[in-house]
Amino acid sequence: MKIRILIGLTLVLLTATRCSDYLEHLPDQRAELNSPEKVAELLASAYPRANYITFLEALSDNAEDKALTTSELINSAPWQFNDVPNRNEDTPDFYWQAAYAAIAASNQALETINNASDQTPYRASKGEALVTRAYAHFMLVTLFSRVYHPSTAATDPGIPYVTEPEKVVTQKYERRTVAYVYEQIEKDLEEGIPLLDNESYKEGAGRYHFTTTAAHGFATRFYLFKMDYAKVVEHANLAFPSGNILPNLRPINSEAYRAMEPLVKLAEYTKADKPANLLLVEAPSLWARSLRGYRYGFNFNLLSKVVWNQNVTSGLWGYMFYGNEASLFTPKFREHFVKMDPNAEIGTPYNMIPLLTAEEVLFNRAEANARLGNYDATLKDLNDFASTRIIVNDTDEPYYDPARHTVTRARVLRFYNTTDIEAALISTVLDFKRVEFLFEGQRWFDIIRHHLQVVHVPYSRDNILTLGPNDPRRVLQIPQEAQSSGIELNPR
């Protein structure tokens, strides 16, 4: 399979040939970047075109050993908590490269805008460039540095926050600190969001760019990691000005949705016209093709424990699963295969990746309100979500019954056997999120934020693998090539 990706100069040391090819064309491309329309077109490449799901699902507690005879390194290495010695799609190194390529596009756009004699026509593009730069750096610092904590962020190594286009092949960078990276992300967000204009995007293209809704949605994730819970609630309410996220949630438990054939659901889940999808990106990936066949992944044991087991609503999750013990899945991803030419048999497989969803914004607000002591607000969000996911468990008719399924304070305290309402509500949020984001990589973000231990048990039951809260392997290794830019590797 050949994958051809146009990238900007990144922190990864490129081969001499590729650098030569790039430098031969880049000056002409920069010279042509001389109008608001061309800057806007460039920003279509300011989103990391890479898939993090493959390695994050394998790292998490959503994957067990299915004892298949074959094992792909991009799946087995993260499951065994090892670095992935691979630069292909669906690996951490590939994501690093794609994220800095996206940052290069953002910075090139910003340089053009800042040099323009009249910046007014570029206002919306400047906002998008700032927010995309913030997003890519946030994803990098989240994956390749220790998770943010106020007591350690000022000393924990971050990742380079790049704000200017590279002018040389191998630029030297320093990692600075996690606190510094977070300061720069927040600065870009605060400056960029007010400049965004949803009307500036071509019709139908909004879901592939940072609209105001998507940008505020991203801000809820950023501030949840930063533990600024009032800001999480503020941005969630700005993302959905009425404060009512319910109409934007996927109707998973509806009779119409459940009646769809699996292939139809595969297409529906990542459609741009679905209000739940706030931001989508098309990325080269084998995830849709391979997720059922990977040795380390979702199996019947996890289905029984995570989905079919009792939950706080006393109802049954309305998600539908297909396949057998070795190939269980719920329909979310469909491969788009692009041939190199009409007569070719080789090409590039692409997946549509939902980067931000209405469901995540709801969960972020629910957790933040629990932290703030706004327990009724948390319960409101949890019940809104449950009303689109839960069905009665004693009939074949899929419907939600408020009389049976409403989440209350008494119910969560009893279910989690605690007198701490805040802890019980946060446990409910995390359990709901785990089920909702199966096969999407989101579980890893909660694992690192809440310092959850991950235990992987080989099928043989020998050599059980444990990833503790302070294990350095929770931080992905920076690509070896980045050392040429002066970036030290993470400890192992």
Return the pLDDT at 170. Answer: 67
Return the pLDDT at 321. Answer: 96
Q: Which residues of the chain have pLDDT under 70?
A: 1-31, 168-170
Angle at 176 between CA 170 and CA 180, to 5 degrees: 125
Domains, the chain? 16-485 (1.25.40.390)
Return the pLDDT at 168. Answer: 62
In terms of phi and psi (left: phi > 0; alpha: psi -120 to 50; beta: otherwise), the region of 427 is alpha
Identify the burial level of 8 via C-beta atoms within 10 angstroms of its C-beta, where 0-12 means exposed, 13-18 middle and 19 or more buried.
Answer: buried
CA pair distance 87, 184, nearest whole angstrom: 28
Return the pLDDT at 172. Answer: 81
Identify the burial level of 49 via C-beta atoms within 10 angstroms of its C-beta, where 0-12 means exposed, 13-18 middle and 19 or more buried.
Answer: buried
Tokens of 23: 């430098």
CA pair distance 24, 27, nearest whole angstrom: 7
Q: Are 51 and 90 in contact (CB under 8 A)?
A: yes
Return the pLDDT at 69. Answer: 85
Return the pLDDT at 146. Answer: 98
Could you tell me the pTM of the whole model? 0.92
Residue 148, CA atoms < 13 Å, CB-side half-sphere: 23
